[in-house]
Amino acid sequence: MDIAGLQETHASLTAQIAAAESQLANLKESLHATENLIRSANGARTETSPQKWPLLEDEYRRYGRQMIVSQIGLQGQLKLRSSSVLLVGAGGLGCPAALYLAGAGVGTLGMIDGDQVEESNLHRQVLHRTKNVGKYKVDSAIQYLEELNPHPTYIAHREHLSSQNAPDIFEKYDVILDCTDNPATRYLISDTAVILGKPVVSASALRTDGQLMVLNNPPNAPGDLSGGPCYRCVFPKPPPAESVVSCADGGIIGPVVGTMGVLQALETIKVITKQPVEETQEPTASDHPALHIFSAYSNPPFRTIRLRGRRANCAVCSSNATVTLHTLQSGSTDYVQFCGSAYPPQLLSAQERISADEYKQILETKQSCTVIDVRDQTQFGICKLENSINIPITQLMNETATTNVDVTERLRSLLPPNTPAVDDKDPIYFVCRLGNDSQLAVQKFKELGLDRNGERFIGDIRGGFKSWKSDVDPEWPEY
């Protein structure tokens, strides 16, 4: 069989496996719902066999240690059992949050995520297992949760959140957890929750730091300034698209994102079990909205910033809201446009870029050139091209153009100490992990005049080390 036939067979088998796994997940969901109905029937009150206690015997044993805590008690446990929580994202935040909410006895847990489990997820996304690589994250997570606690109802939404499906999905839940990693989705989650009157527990994590907020709490109607602020109230303008760094680019320590996910679960339990405040009772410090900041390598690692209330001119929770259910469902609220392009920048012309294979030919023919790796020193230490020079992009972008400075001396000042002299005519190629920062580096070098007004070629390796691995060296470490 030729390669085309093998690829067609592979695609067919992959599709059949995905369909079978989806059918199996649906059957498990139906079985679980049936088991819940059986348990409910066995514990239901009847005239001949009245139920003496509000919880099942197994539930008293399972949740007893948290029910004896005064802030929870029996009434709090009953609230948890009757509540429904949606986690948007089954990754580093969603996994620990779901784990503790299921353990605490939340009655219905929904998870929405259209991604599949990858090996790179496993160091921090603690519900997934090596054997589940390739499965939908929501199915992998729920498989684990069902083994932990069979009492809750688990609902898998195997899709990505969009402005079209968000209202219908959110409507079924009491509390929404924002466990995502990009601004566009965060604004969508917050906007939808405000419109439908749902509190949001939002967290984020990157490298060694994390943030946590409880938004739209209490979830009063738009225009009611006594309601909790929304995401737009805290961040009226999104960050510049080029400044947004993902875990894939910036890195993340597993326990850091785990800490934030556990805190999300805790704040959700507090929202669900909170006692109603009497009109005569003064609000306490814990009633005020706050931004909690965690930094693993700081001492102390936690600090809290008190947030302002709702903005009177907020686009979604003010009396003059411009974001409504209609604008959501019609698609007229474009979150990607609002937050900036989600696609990698294409800053250079085709003439300023070479492919990984073309650079391989340059090495094989021993053409004289300089290759500069603009990853940070930590990544450079993991793997690097032979004879490459490391100048981190953060260092390079801080350079400013100056006059009356010899170009050769300027280049020498940028290079690390003890770097061999670079020929004035040698072409310079920049490389990075994905081919994005390298484009910025090319532009910066030309801005500094190091191309000698076009006499020296300065360009980048298109696609970076991702292309190098796929097109040149399959053994190149992928991290």
Binding-site entries for Zn(2+): 230, 233, 314, 317
Report how far residue 181's alpha carbon sits from residue 249's, in angstroms, rounded to the nearest whole number: 12
Phi, psi of 90 (to 5 degrees): -115, 45
Q: DSSP label at 119? A: G
Instruction: Please state the residue numbers annotated as binding site.
Output: 92, 113, 120-124, 137, 181-182, 230, 233, 314, 317
Query: 137-148 and 3-43 are packed helices; what angle lies between their axes, rounded to 10 degrees?
Result: 30
Is 369 noted as a catalytic residue in this protein? no
Q: Which of 95, 179, 339, 432 is catalytic?
A: 432
| Inter-CA distances, 235 with 162, 183, 187, Å | 20, 10, 9
Residue 218, preceding peptide bond in cis (omega within 30° of 0): yes
Q: Which of 247, 339, 369, 383 is catalytic?
A: 247
Task: Please report, as a single letter, which amino acid is at residue 178.
Answer: D
Find all residues with CB under 8 Å of 83, minimum gap 6, and list them: 106, 107, 108, 174, 175, 272
CB 264 within 8 A of CB 92: no
End-to-end CA distance of the chain: 34
Contact 441, 396 (CB under 8 A): yes
Binding residue numbers for ATP: 92, 113, 120-124, 137, 181-182
**Known catalytic membership, residue 247:** yes
- Cα–Cα distance measured from residue 206 to residue 16, given in angstroms and rounded to the nearest whole number: 37
| Edge-to-edge strands, sheet with 370-373 | 353-354, 458-461, 428-431, 370-373, 389-390
- On whether the CB atoms of residues 433 and 375 are closer than 8 A, the answer is yes
Yes or no: say if 81 and 60 are a contact pair by the CB < 8 Å rule.
no
Whether the CB-CB separation of 137 and 299 falls below 8 Å is answered with no
CA–CA dist 298, 291 (Å, integer): 17
Whether residue 312 contacts residue 225, with contact meaning beta carbons closer than 8 Å, is answered with: yes
H/E run at residue 428: strand 428-431
Say if CB 63 and CB 105 are below 8 A apart.
yes
Q: What is the DSSP letter of 292?
A: E
Q: What is the largest CA-CA distance in the chain?
A: 98
Query: Which amino acids are annotated catalytic?
Result: 247, 432
